């Protein structure tokens, strides 16, 4: 059984996600509606997977992601996004999330995504990949990246993979073009996520402020 902590304040959505994961017997889902509740659950036991919304009534999901990342490095973190937009997803990735889940995703897709994540396959969308590679371009043009996203540590191969994803190529296509094994592509993506993570709390807050991602 995979223990999942689901943090979502909107009740219908929470039920929906809970149902989607509960449909199969592989997930044990604990739900929380607030940051406080989530912290209480986290202090009891570290879940295998944390699914969290960003806008919560008593705080921000990003704080939760960061704390979990520091305290429970083994926990896989996914952000629940309404639109899968870069603003929320990239912010979450920078705090340590390694994937995202759309709130309106079909139930089978939801379960599959979480399953893949546990198996080490971080999902990435074309628009997120596009966002990251366009930042690498902006940085190589010596223009300060407006989002403060540090893409300097990405290798040319990783950037090539991101380009392929952004243009809608399948993992198999990308692996074929780059002379990789298809199975290694998800691992590369997880590496990319890790490299985009900011390392210290101070840096994170500063950069988040810079980006206007959090409002104090």
Partner 1 sequence: MAPLGAPRLALRLLLYLALQALVVVGCLGLAALPTPEPPPRWQLTEARLEPPGAAVSLPHHHGSRFTMADPPRYGLAFDRPPGLPEEPWSVLLPRFTNGVAVAVNGVEILDSRRNPAANRPDRSSPEIAVIPPSLLREGRNELTVRLFVWGPLTGFLDRIHVGPDAVLRPAYDQRVLLFVTLPVVLAAWQSILAVILAMMWLMRRHEPEYGALAASMAIGVMQTFISAPSGQSLYAGLNAVLIASAPLESAFGVLFFVLFLGLRLPRIAVLLFLPGLIITATGLFGGPGPVRTAYLMLGPATVAFCLVLIAVLVALAFLQRRDAISLVLGSAVTVVLFFCVHDILSILDIAPDRRMFFSRLSYSAMVIAIGIGLTWRFARALNQVDSFAGRMVTLVREAEDKLRATLALDEERARAMALAGERTRLMRDLHDGLGGQLVSIVALSERQRAEPIGEAARAALKDLRLVIDAMDDIGGDLMLALGAWRERIAAQLRAHGIALDWRVLPPQGLPVHPELRPGHVIQIIRLLDEAVTNAVKHAGAGTITVEIETVAAADGDRGRISVQDDGRGFDAKAGSAAPPLAGRGLANMRRRAERCGAQLAIVSGAEGTRVTLDLPGRFADLEAPGD
Closest approach, Cβ 146 to partner 1, in A, equals 7
104 lies in the site for partner 1, by CB under 8 A: yes
150 binds partner 1 (CB under 8 A): no
Angle between helix 61-71 and 86-95 (nearest 10): 30
Structure tokens at 200: 């210290």
Task: Specify the residue, 34 or 46, whose C-beta has the smaller distance to partner 1.
Answer: 34
Which residue's CB is nearer to partner 1, number 72 or number 130? 130
- CB of 172: closest distance to partner 1 in angstroms? 11
Q: 10 Å Cβ neighbour count for 6?
A: 27
Which of 130, 139, 190, 191: binder of partner 1 (CB under 8 A)? Answer: 130
Contact stretch for partner 1 (CB under 8 A) within 14-22, 39-47, 65-73, 188-196: 14-22
Cβ nearer to partner 1, comparing 2 with 82: 82
Among 52, 88, 98, 122, binds partner 1 (CB under 8 A): 88
71 in contact with partner 1 (CB under 8 A):
no
- The smaller minimum CB distance to partner 1, of residues 107 and 187, is found at 107
**H helical segments located in 30-183:** 35-44, 61-71, 86-95, 107-118, 126-140, 156-166, 171-178
Handedness of CA 105, 89, 111, 187 (dihedral sign): positive
The two three-digit tokens of residue 15, written as one number? 């039920």
Rounded Cα gap, residues 113 and 25, in angstroms: 15
Task: By CB under 8 A, name the one of 36, 83, 152, 209 that touches partner 1.
Answer: 83
CB nearer to partner 1: pick between 42 and 56: 56
**Residue from 71, 77, 5, 69 nearest 41 by CA:** 5
Q: How many Cα atoms are found within 13 Å in the side-chain-facing hemisphere of 115?
A: 13
Other CB atoms closer than 10 Å to residue 135's CB: what's the count? 21
What residues line the site for partner 1 (CB under 8 A)?
Answer: 10, 12-13, 15-16, 19, 55, 82-85, 87-88, 103-106, 108-109, 125-127, 129-131, 134, 143, 146, 165-170, 173, 212
């Amino acid at each position: 059984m995979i223990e999942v902590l689901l943090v979502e304040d909107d009740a219908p959505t929470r039920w929906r996600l809970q149902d989607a994961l509960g449909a199969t017997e592989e997930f044990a889902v604990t739900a929380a509606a607030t940051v406080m509740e989530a912290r209480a659950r986290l202090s009891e036991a570290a879940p295998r997977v944390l699914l969290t919304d960003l806008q919560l009534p008593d705080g921000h999901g990003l704080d939760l992601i960061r704390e979990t990342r520091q305290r429970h490095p083994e926990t896989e973190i996914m952000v629940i996004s309404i639109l899968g937009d870069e603003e929320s997803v990239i912010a979450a990735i920078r705090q340590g999330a390694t994937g995202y889940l759309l709130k309106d995703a079909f139930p089978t897709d939801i379960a599959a995504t979480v399953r893949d994540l546990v198996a080490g396959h971080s999902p990435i969308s074309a628009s997120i990949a596009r966002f990251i590679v366009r930042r690498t371009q902006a940085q190589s043009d010596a223009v300060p990246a407006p989002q403060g996203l540090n893409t300097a540590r990405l290798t040319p191969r990783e950037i090539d993979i991101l380009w392929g994803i952004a243009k809608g190529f399948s993992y198999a296509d990308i692996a074929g073009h780059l002379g990789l094994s298809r199975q290694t592509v998800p691992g590369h993506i997880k590496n990319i996520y890790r490299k985009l993570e900011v390392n210290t709390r101070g840096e994170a807050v500063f950069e988040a402020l810079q980006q206007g991602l959090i409002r104090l």
